[in-house]
Structure 1
Amino acid sequence: MRLVTFSTDHGTHLGALVAGQVIDLPGTYAAWQRTHVRSSALFSDSQSFPTSMLHFLQADEATREVVDHVLAFAADPNIRADLADADLAFPVDHVTFLPPIPRPGKIVCLGHNYRRHIAEMGSPLPQYPVLFARFATTLIGHRQPIVLPKVSNQVDYEAELALVIGRTGKDIPKTQAAFDYLAGYTIFNDVSVRDYQRRTVQWMQGKNFDGTGPIGPALVTADEVRDPHALDITLRLNGEVMQQTNTSDFIFDIPTMLSYISEIMTLEPGDIIATGTPSGVGYARSPQVFLKPGDVVQIEIAELGMLENSVIAPQGAGGASGPQRTASFDEVTHG
């Protein structure tokens, strides 16, 4: 599944990407239920059908099987035409993508988790995962603009694979069983305000400016990703490749991340873990490269798609907002 949270003139919706369109999942469920005489035997309480991403992540297996039925129903082009007529299916450029999980309980980020990034920053390999926190007010969705802060001109990009927790977990084993705690994966841009980040030994202030955490466009469920340790990651700034690597360069693999973090805190459905950025950040370049109004940042991760955001001037500070190109469905869903 490729699940999204999106908004239209009619409000905020839980949706899915299906064959070039965004479908409203609760509305499509109601249509499916009307056309399937025996659907009530599978799932009789319409109020229990997920209406948000968090509700979906907290649902039981029976509910998720019903979601599978609804997506199979929506795969029929004739059905999608009817859904479009009912304002339940939309072209991707007719909706506003929001963060897949708009207000996660926790956003735990790793720093220094790629070997080549460690080398470019001149740092020693860490003995333990380097952790810091982000907060929900930093998150923005696919195609929403990154608004530069008024107080800094050292705003940098960071392409990252993000994990989405699907089950409550404490003391998760450092084995393949750790993957059972994942709902899926998404794309994250850990936009960093470098001068604030470097003010103290704690990075929090440079990582939590409002609207500096683009994420999405979709939560891609774990069954659709063959090997999260073998995903190509590419970041382009105005079309130029700035970061390009593979998650095989991780220092700490996913079971190690989940095990270590869950020693400290209980992980819950909807929590996000950002797994660190590869080499090529603007701060480490010579000359340094920082984001400016008019820039467009695209992050592509194999099997997950593409996250794109334009960069605009500080609010109230004037300046051009730059191009905000509409991504194609192939970019959103497949890269």
Structure 2
Amino acid sequence: MVVNMNKIFFNSKKLLNSSAAIKQLLLNTRDQKRNFSVSSCLSMRFVQYTVNGGPQRLGAQICTGGDIFDISAVDSTIPNSLPKFLAADKSVHERAKRIVAAASSLVYYKDVKLLSPVTHPDKVVCVGLNYSGHCEEQNKPFPKEPTVFSKFSSTICGPTDDIVLPSVSTRVDYEVELAVIIGKQGKNIPKAKAYDHVFGYTIAQDITARDWQKRNGGQWLLGKAMDTFCPLGPAVVTKEVIDDPHNLDIKCTVNGQERQCANTNELIFKVDFIISYLSELFTLYPGDVILTGTPAGVGVFRNPPLYLQKGDVIESEIEGIGKMINKVV
């Protein structure tokens, strides 16, 4: 039996407010059917976090804001990093499944600091000009093939971390995006098999220094790769939880004012095509992050342009995944 965690959550919202209730709920489910499947236990939200300033831990949640199954702290052989966990063999995943099913180690959500759910991936790949509205606001035709660039993994920060304005730029902009997290290594992946290589999805902000994006011979890298320019979070939601990644509301506000509001159905190149296309060029590894593009409403194309200022608060939200809140400093 595969348990629908979303159904459990929405039918038992009050119960899920306490660790004891979560444990009892899972134990009752296990009693009803002993062969609680791997996909059931891993169809949830994976987070990286610290407690009281301690070392990084890997855990899982049933719902947004729910208490956390402390996976890596229970078994020291389980990596405390999601990319390393994804790259591990099936026996590690089985042990994690048993920890979650037993509800043997729960940490109160209020006691943790969430980190980026993915740290030190092999690569962060980005697709530009991939929303119809974003092309239209620039009066540009839809691209015939993906516009691909990258960000350094050192740009990654967490869902509540500060975004630091660099002293060398006066035109820093926001771009909320759906990010795909690769779960299985692959090269030359057929489009029909692309989702076999997806572990899940998270929210990204592709923070961009527009003045530097147009410098350096027109190459985008320097404008995209400054420190703290890639907040991720708050969790990686596994693909089993998201029915359709191409039908999710996506929104960005700055200081409470709506700047971007769209749906991922505007994506020009869909997730399966992007994965297949990229894998023809290079190998995708577990933990790799793929930013799929941003919708209309970015600051640079407003009249007048609206760039980020110190003290601004950016809220980035995607349906079914959650929300990030980052302050600009």
CA distance in structure 2 between the partners assigned to 1:23 and 1:90 by the alignment: 9
Amino acid at match of 1:21: D
Which residue is equivalent to 2:185?
168
1:21 aligns with 2:67: yes
SS at match of 1:228: coil
CA distance in structure 1 between the partners assigned to 2:72 and 2:210 by the alignment: 42
1:192 aligns with 2:226: no
Corresponding residue to 2:254 among 237, 241, 244: 237
Alignment check: 8 A CA contact 1:17 1:23 kept: yes
What is the count of residue pairs matched by the alignment?
282
Alignment check: 8 A CA contact 1:99 1:217 kept: yes
CA distance in structure 2 between the partners assigned to 1:21 and 1:310 by the alignment: 25
CA distance in structure 2 between the partners assigned to 1:12 and 1:178 by the alignment: 30
CA distance in structure 2 between the partners assigned to 1:253 and 1:91 by the alignment: 34
Amino acid at match of 1:233: I
Which residue is equivalent to 2:222?
205
Which residue is equivalent to 2:158?
141
The answer for unaligned runs of 5 or more in structure 2 is 1-43
1:91 aligns with 2:109: yes
Which residue is equivalent to 2:11?
none
SS at match of 1:195: helix
Alignment check: 8 A CA contact 1:2 1:218 kept: yes
CA distance in structure 1 between the partners assigned to 2:78 and 2:67 by the alignment: 21
Displacement after TM superposition at 1:62 (Å):
4.1
Which residue is equivalent to 1:270?
287
1:10 aligns with 2:28: no
Displacement after TM superposition at 1:18 (Å):
4.5
The runs of at least 4 consecutive aligned structure 1 residues that moved more than 6 Å come to none
1:58 aligns with 2:87: yes
Displacement after TM superposition at 1:221 (Å):
1.0
CA distance in structure 2 between the partners assigned to 1:49 and 1:310 by the alignment: 33
Which residue is equivalent to 1:304?
321
The answer for unaligned runs of 5 or more in structure 1 is 31-45, 313-335
Amino acid at match of 2:49: F
Q: Percent identity?
A: 43
Pick which of 252-261 and 15-24 moved more: 15-24
Alignment check: 8 A CA contact 1:116 1:249 kept: yes
Deviations 1:206-228 (A, max 9, x none): 10111111111111111111100
Which residue is equivalent to 2:21?
none
Which residue is equivalent to 2:15?
none
Corresponding residue to 2:195 among 179, 198, 204: 179
SS at match of 2:236: strand
TM-score under structure 1 length normalisation: 0.80
Deviations 1:93-112 (A, max 9, x none): x3222221211100010000
TM-score under structure 2 length normalisation: 0.82
CA distance in structure 2 between the partners assigned to 1:65 and 1:2 by the alignment: 17
Q: How big is the alpha-carbon RMSD for the aligned residues of Structure 1 and Structure 2? A: 1.6
Deviations 1:229-265 (A, max 9, x none): 1111011111111111111101101111011111110
Displacement after TM superposition at 1:60 (Å):
3.3
